[in-house]
Amino acid sequence: MANNFYIFMQMGLQHITDPKGFDHILFIITICAVYSWHNWKSLIKLVTAFTIGHSVTLALAATKVVVPNYQLIEFLIPVTILFSALHNIYKIENNHNFVYKYLTVTVFGFVHGLGFSNFFTAMMGDTQSIVQPLLAFNIGLELGQLSIVLVFMGLYLLIDKFLKIQKRDWTIFVSGASFGLSLVMILERM
């Protein structure tokens, strides 16, 4: 069973970092776009908010307390990205209200968690206990999430160091790209 734990953890890690299904990657990148390494504590808090959100609904859907409409969820996931990108740009000159952002990311995490549950339940046996696999899968998701954050922030560090791009411009660039890509996803999933 210990090896099954590793397999489910690996599947969680792979699922969130899969470039083919990059909606989750794009959401995490969009959240990160307004932050630099100096505000790493705020960034960790936001990523934690996302973790809390998706863990709750992943568990609810995996235990069939909630039975999501996956088609609707797949549509809503890029909507969360679009909204986050717009908010980044709208609030670029003003201070971000952190409590509002924290609550928004948590709620968006609910949506992504329902999306994860589709993949998770596909891997489960019909009569299998979900506790250990769910924990393993969730740990894999968190590790993958942190890897995405680190790769993205590392990329920004290099760009800042060598290209001297302003933080504001970087935020607009990343948020604009997220907006465009999420809009395409929304139109594809309608």
Partner 1 sequence: MSKKLKVISILFLFIGFYAFAHPVKLSVCDVTYQDGKIKMHYKLFQDDFIAFANIATNKKLDFENKNKDATAFIISYLNKHTSFKINGKSVTFKLKSNSKDATLVHIYLECKYNELQKENKIEIKNTILFDQFPEQINMYYIDLLGDKNPVSCRTGKDFPNDVWTVPFR
Binding site for partner 1 (CB under 8 A): 1, 4, 7, 10-11, 13-14, 17, 37, 40, 70-71, 118-119, 122-129, 143-144, 146-148, 150-151, 154
To which H or E segment does residue 68 belong? none
Min CB(134)–partner 1 separation in Å: 15
The nearer residue to partner 1, 19 or 99, going by C-beta atoms, is 19
51 alpha-carbon distance from chain centroid? 8
Best CA proximity match to 120, nearest among 111, 110, 130: 130
Question: Do the beta carbons of residue 136 and residue 53 sit within 8 Å?
Answer: no
Min CB(29)–partner 1 separation in Å: 13
Min CB(136)–partner 1 separation in Å: 12
- Helical residues (DSSP H) of 33-130, grouped into ranges: 40-62, 70-90, 98-123
The nearer residue to partner 1, 142 or 179, going by C-beta atoms, is 142
Min CB(128)–partner 1 separation in Å: 5
Distance between CA 47 and CA 72 in Å, rounded?
24
The nearer residue to partner 1, 85 or 185, going by C-beta atoms, is 185
